[in-house]
Structure 1
Amino acid sequence: MKGIKKNLTEEYLYLDFSHQIEGCIFPLHTSVTLFLLSYCDCKIFKVCLVLTGENADTSLLKNVLSQHVEIQIISRQELPLIVQNCCLPAVVESPDSFCRAGLAVVLRHIVQRAYDAEPSKKGILELLGFKKTCLKACAEVSQWTRLCELTIPLSIENFLKESCDQHPAIPTEILKLEKKLSEPVRVHNDDKLRRQKLKQQKAAGVGPTLAQEKLKSQAHIQETSEDQDPSSQSLELQVAFSKLTVQEHPAALNREPAHIRRAGACALPPLEHVFAEGLYFTLADLVLLPCVHHFLVVICKKLSERLVEFPLLAAWYQRVQEVPGVKTAASRCGIQFLHLPELPTTSSEQHPKFSEAAGAEEHSDPSFIGGPRPTMTKLMEKGIEVMFSPHPCPAWTLDWNRLPAAVSPKEDKMNRTFIFRQRTSTQHKTSERPTQPYVRRWRGWSATPKEVEQGKMSSDRALRKQQQLNNLVYVVTHQARPGDRIVDFCSGGGHVGIVLAHMLPSCQVTLIENKELSLIRAKKRSDELGLSNIWFIQANMEYFTGMFNIGVALHACGVATDMVIEHCIKTRASFVTCPCCYGFVQNTSKFSFPKSEQFKKTLSYKEHMILCRFADQTAVQLPPQRRLIGKQCMCLVDLDRARAAEERGYSVQVISMEPESCSPKNNMIVGVPI
């Protein structure tokens, strides 16, 4: 086929299969993934359904599986070893050392690969949204990703199971989605669009709301955009139509009237949802559509009187069907869309204004009163003081000069030559404009601009990174035993994991990282070294389910450190972590602070946040006294983490790295199960 790239790496896509109810494949993650494959018309993956039970009935699968995708059914024992350590769905590249796991990561990869295979289909890449960030943030930090990736599929699965025997309760997550669709849309150019909407409303009076227009539109989206007068559509629909029909939204040729330009932000009308994330059709819509469809099927059959509670969800459901390619993909997957009645909707005037919403958020945020000294004094009165354990071997260092170049974060070649263009005459305030580049020798960096782009670093930073690695590698290598499995969480470019894999050839090292490019760089370095005892997994750490002996994390940001420690405790593994970004520590669905009983009895959440806030003030540019207070706050936050682990059967030490100048965030938390 014209435009298809050749020699694409062969990849296997593994999906769970437990059972099937009324045309729906369980788990819903599998239904969603198959639906995306059909929508993208992607045939480059070898798809394997993995039976989760011995008695799984596969006789009816042919009725709901896309005929254009070849699917093989296997048992879990037939999975590659790396996949057996992950939650499905998962994608593995041959030779089974690089795995992508988790719904959001896998779906984003499918979209990218489908586009790479056929670049002429630019609409496929648009599914990743503005700056390709749709569902990119991990579920631990993004409520939206968590809603789409985890809570809605799981809650609707439970809803469908309960509906077989009784009248089920409406999932809370569906109510959250309905509320989400009622909130004003925020996009990168919303001020401009809202002014255009205000002008439209002023010209025609207050017209019908977007939700009412959605229900009136029953034709295909392309037919609608051709036959309907654009001036009669709401601004949101015009923008959405122009995007889906690969046409630019017509820009205003004339300057906006004065009363439109002078209108304040509070006077501008909010933008309303066309699709799940706002004005544009994205991957999130394709994730939610199969889930919402099966939910609405049950509602229409057994709880039809409650359909009126979801007018925005129903309008969105109808709108998504009109997107080109959606009905075709649905028919391939055995999905027969419902035709819902017109439902009454709330008017746009009932949406909260941006200023009111922002004010409410600011009012709800805790206000920090006072500094860290009263909090530290309060802890001292309860016998809790800043205290570090002695470093086991402060002078120990790897012989970096004898290690292969790919092991070290530092480049061998120094004093590279850089070519810079001189600043323009306006920048130098001179009348002369340079016409030729000039050459300057830059002695502070050890890499060319291309190498910097590839993740290599300056010589000073590389030296500090080596010093950080000396601390972690010493502790891990003295704990590890032959045959141990070591996991480098939040591995980034693999600075820790690659050194450990090289130093401990009898151990299996696994790198887990959510950022694809970082992991690809690590894989390239590993290939240069010829390492055979290393795995690479692109996933959120909660999708890694394998057993291991030691967990390590260098500068895991915010609550990621707490997630690493929790993962290790559940597996009864030792942990060696170096926390970072204390200011990002906050209560989540999994963690509440303070963590230990000792700190909970002394500090409130607000007081703990004061410690976290000041723990980030350790940068070298700050005055020495402030850095000292920051270091003390770091220690107290980490002591709380250590005490919490001790309460669960661990021996834990908080150690300061040597030399302390290796990083502003230079604490290590070392825990060993008792």
Structure 2
Amino acid sequence: MSVYIEGSLTLVENMFGLSLESFIVYNLAVKCDVDVNLCVVDNEGELKMILDLDKFVVINKNDIPRIGSYCKWPIVITNNKVVAGLCAVCRQIIKLSNNSNLKNLLGFKESCLMACSETSTWTKFCEVDIIKTTKDLLVDLNKFIENDCFKAPICFGKFEHHLNQPVRMHNIYKVARRVHNDKDLKSSLPIEGLNLNHLYAEGLYMTLADCIIYFCYKLIFTQIIFDGDSKNDLNLTSSWMKRMDLSELNINIDKKPDIVSIKKVILPKIKHTSLYSSEQNKYKQEISVTSEIIDDLNRSLHNLKISNNLIPFGDDLNFDWGLIPFNANPGAALPKNRSKRKCEQLENLAKSVLKIIQTKTSQKSIKIVDFCSGGGHLGILLSTLLPNSTIILVENKERSLEMALNRIKSLKLTNIQIVQSNLDYFIGKFNIGISLHACGVATDLVIQKSIDNKADFVCCPCCYGAIKNCHQISYPRSGYFKNMLSYDEYLRATRGADQTHDEENPKTKNGFRCMDIIDWDRKLYAEQFGYEVRLGKLKPSNCTVKNNLLVGILG
């Protein structure tokens, strides 16, 4: 297993220009006594640091396995698998460590920062928000200084507020009984009454989250001198920093000559919400989408003709599961009652991909990316059907990819590669992007990745109710829908689209109508970029209640 970071050469001996992410990964790897490969690149990065040459090997771009070019760096490569994304890479480094104390940074069941930033507020804070804020401060700290006052960024305010919230952790009552030496403490007591204060970011014990936030804060706090009581406005953060400075993760950073003196810290006004979970969404609870609401949506859309032709693209092709190797059939990995429906789902998408390839006879070598691949059922099937093509599985769940890897080995497939990362870290080139039941925003990320690559796409969406604006995607998608529907009206349709039950349920018809509304918006959006988009349904339609199929072919 190899860790790769990027760095640029400087005129000072042993000094390299690093990105903030590479700086964090390098320091964690040093603490974990894990070797690092540093690839020399042209971009300077946000930081210039003198590095210990005994802790890494300088390599050339030509020495990197091809799979290393699929993702934003830093990355970890092992065999035919690449891991990307700050949190995922840090998790891999900790797992490699022989230091049991540092292995505990992964927390309960090694789940710290396992969730992706699109769904976890906490991961987004550590992987996106605090990173962007730190980069902004490193680029121009003076932009946050006015009359000797430090106008703290929103992230600083959120973290200070977070440290003041009641601790939430697994087995919290058991922990409270041990901390307070009170065996009679009742589980009915509200957590606010447990008198457990944050010693670290996630409660009483240090985790990977502390590591990432600490390395960021250390860079900024070494550039600032807090005069008098100015640090009191960041009292909890300051106490946390002192604890981190005394921990195994302590790092020393040389102070800059142009250090700034601060007399007062001005914290931003923030919503009083916890970083433990997503902010309450007024549409989070199920909304009963009635026919009247559907009529209102139609009127807002000026009675736009939205039609689903019900026939999936590629339906005319023959498909024989008898010709598929046993281990490439989901029946080899799934319970019998799920196997039939899964086969039907996979067959629909596989036929769509084969049909696209038939229409693009000029393409000799096809690269297909199975986004949100899970255990790799679809990608592995296509790998056996298209032995001359390259299939890439992209999935952020390590355990799912372990199951996929076992099946790939048993089938002795050589044309399939694995990427463990969130969608936004994948930057590889490809010809067809596919996804089966990518949840909520993920489907739109797949379509956007395909558009950016001028690639065709085959998507069967899922979890419409999880759709919401995020740091990468905003809704509605198409220009037409943006002009006709407000964000709130759009969310009403997304929540209604999750009300697809059995055929006898009166909500089902409205649910399918809402699915078509959302997918028609996706269709119109892709057509703005020159795509011909087919909207159909999987056959048989009861193989899944989320049965819409979007196929986009670039003209």
> Structures share a fold, TM > 0.5?
yes
Is 2:203 the counterpart of 1:278?
A: yes
* Distance across 1 between alignment mates of 2:157 and 2:279: 21
The answer for the alignment partner of 2:487 in structure 1 is 605
The answer for the alignment partner of 1:671 in structure 2 is 552
Distance 1:307 1:530, change over 3 A: same
Contact 1:64/1:335, CA 8 A, preserved across alignment: no
The answer for the alignment partner of 2:37 in structure 1 is 48
* Distance across 1 between alignment mates of 2:392 and 2:188: 56
Q: Secondary structure at the match of 1:410?
A: helix
Cα root mean square deviation, aligned: 3.7
* Distance across 1 between alignment mates of 2:533 and 2:29: 47
Shift of 1:536: 0.4
> In the alignment, residue 545 of structure 2 is paired with which amino acid?
P
The answer for the alignment partner of 2:349 in structure 1 is 472
Please give the residue correspondences for 1:654-665 in structure 2 after superposition, counting only pairs within 5 Å: 654-665=535-546
Per-residue Cα deviation, 1:276-305 (whole angstroms, up to 9, x for no partner): 12221101111122211110011129x999
Q: Secondary structure at the match of 2:326?
A: coil
Counterpart selection for 1:110 from 93, 105, 126: 93
Shift of 1:16: 1.3
The answer for the alignment partner of 1:217 in structure 2 is none
What TM-score do you get using the length of structure 1 for normalisation?
A: 0.71
The answer for the alignment partner of 1:374 in structure 2 is 292
Contact 2:222/2:254, CA 8 A, preserved across alignment: no
Q: Which moved more, 1:363-372 or 1:456-465?
A: 363-372
The answer for the alignment partner of 1:252 in structure 2 is 182
Shift of 1:485: 1.3
The answer for the alignment partner of 1:404 in structure 2 is 325
Per-residue Cα deviation, 1:255-278 (whole angstroms, up to 9, x for no partner): 35xxxx699649736643211122
Contact 1:375/1:607, CA 8 A, preserved across alignment: no
The answer for the alignment partner of 1:238 in structure 2 is none
* Distance across 2 between alignment mates of 1:460 and 1:284: 40
* Distance across 2 between alignment mates of 1:54 and 1:593: 33
Shift of 1:19: 6.2
Counterpart selection for 2:516 from 610, 635, 643: 635
What TM-score do you get using the length of structure 2 for normalisation?
A: 0.85
Distance 1:145 1:160, change over 3 A: same
Contact 1:483/1:507, CA 8 A, preserved across alignment: yes
Counterpart selection for 1:129 from 80, 101, 107: 107
Shift of 1:545: 0.7
Shift of 1:564: 0.9
Please give the residue correspondences for 1:335-414 in structure 2 after superposition, counting only pairs within 5 Å: 371-381=289-299, 382-389=302-309, 390-394=311-315, 396-411=317-332
Per-residue Cα deviation, 1:536-570 (whole angstroms, up to 9, x for no partner): 00011111111111100000011111111111112
Shift of 1:669: 0.9
The answer for the alignment partner of 2:73 in structure 1 is 88
Per-residue Cα deviation, 1:132-154 (whole angstroms, up to 9, x for no partner): 22111111222221221233234
Contact 1:76/1:84, CA 8 A, preserved across alignment: no
The answer for the alignment partner of 1:38 in structure 2 is 30
The answer for the alignment partner of 1:552 in structure 2 is 434
Counterpart selection for 1:287 from 206, 212, 223: 212
Distance 1:146 1:624, change over 3 A: closer
The answer for the alignment partner of 2:243 in structure 1 is 319
Contact 2:283/2:492, CA 8 A, preserved across alignment: no
Contact 1:266/1:353, CA 8 A, preserved across alignment: no
The answer for the alignment partner of 1:184 in structure 2 is 166
The answer for the alignment partner of 2:81 in structure 1 is 98
Please give the residue correspondences for 1:572-651 in structure 2 after superposition, counting only pairs within 5 Å: 572-620=454-502, 623-651=504-532
Contact 1:275/1:316, CA 8 A, preserved across alignment: yes
Contact 1:87/1:545, CA 8 A, preserved across alignment: yes
Q: Which moved more, 1:523-532 or 1:468-477?
A: 523-532
Contact 2:371/2:394, CA 8 A, preserved across alignment: yes
> In the alignment, residue 137 of structure 1 is paired with which amino acid?
A
Contact 1:24/1:294, CA 8 A, preserved across alignment: no
The answer for the alignment partner of 2:360 in structure 1 is none
Please give the residue correspondences for 1:74-223 in structure 2 after superposition, counting only pairs within 5 Å: 74-94=59-79, 97-114=80-97, 118=98, 121-163=99-141, 170-190=152-172
The answer for the alignment partner of 2:337 in structure 1 is 460
* Distance across 2 between alignment mates of 1:613 and 1:563: 19
Contact 2:283/2:491, CA 8 A, preserved across alignment: no
Whichever of the two has the greater Rg, that structure is: 1
> In the alignment, residue 391 of structure 1 is paired with which amino acid?
P
* Distance across 2 between alignment mates of 1:602 and 1:164: 42
Q: Secondary structure at the match of 2:327?
A: coil
* Distance across 1 between alignment mates of 2:238 and 2:53: 26
> In the alignment, residue 326 of structure 1 is paired with which amino acid?
L
Distance 1:369 1:28, change over 3 A: closer
* Distance across 2 between alignment mates of 1:578 and 1:379: 23
Contact 1:561/1:577, CA 8 A, preserved across alignment: yes
* Distance across 2 between alignment mates of 1:304 and 1:563: 48
Distance 1:72 1:304, change over 3 A: farther
Q: Which runs of 5+ in 1 are unaligned?
A: 1-10, 197-247, 412-455
> In the alignment, residue 213 of structure 2 is paired with which amino acid?
L
> In the alignment, residue 183 of structure 1 is paired with which amino acid?
Q
Counterpart selection for 1:15 from 5, 12, 21: 5
Q: Work out the percentage of aligned pairs sharing the same amino acid.
A: 32
Q: Which moved more, 1:291-300 or 1:18-27?
A: 18-27
Contact 1:299/1:306, CA 8 A, preserved across alignment: no
Per-residue Cα deviation, 1:206-235 (whole angstroms, up to 9, x for no partner): xxxxxxxxxxxxxxxxxxxxxxxxxxxxxx
Shift of 1:367: 8.2
Shift of 1:532: 1.8
The answer for the alignment partner of 1:232 in structure 2 is none
Distance 1:290 1:367, change over 3 A: closer
* Distance across 1 between alignment mates of 2:66 and 2:421: 16
Distance 1:410 1:345, change over 3 A: same
Distance 1:313 1:583, change over 3 A: same
Q: Secondary structure at the match of 1:520?
A: helix
Q: Secondary structure at the match of 2:329?
A: coil
The answer for the alignment partner of 1:64 in structure 2 is 51
> In the alignment, residue 295 of structure 2 is paired with which amino acid?
T
* Distance across 2 between alignment mates of 1:363 and 1:309: 30
Shift of 1:580: 0.8
* Distance across 2 between alignment mates of 1:270 and 1:396: 65
Per-residue Cα deviation, 1:34-83 (whole angstroms, up to 9, x for no partner): 2222322x34x4x2111221889x9x96x43274x3x1112333321110
Q: Which moved more, 1:378-387 or 1:653-662?
A: 378-387
> In the alignment, residue 175 of structure 1 is paired with which amino acid?
G
Shift of 1:185: 2.5
Distance 1:78 1:607, change over 3 A: same
Per-residue Cα deviation, 1:575-597 (whole angstroms, up to 9, x for no partner): 11001111211222233332223
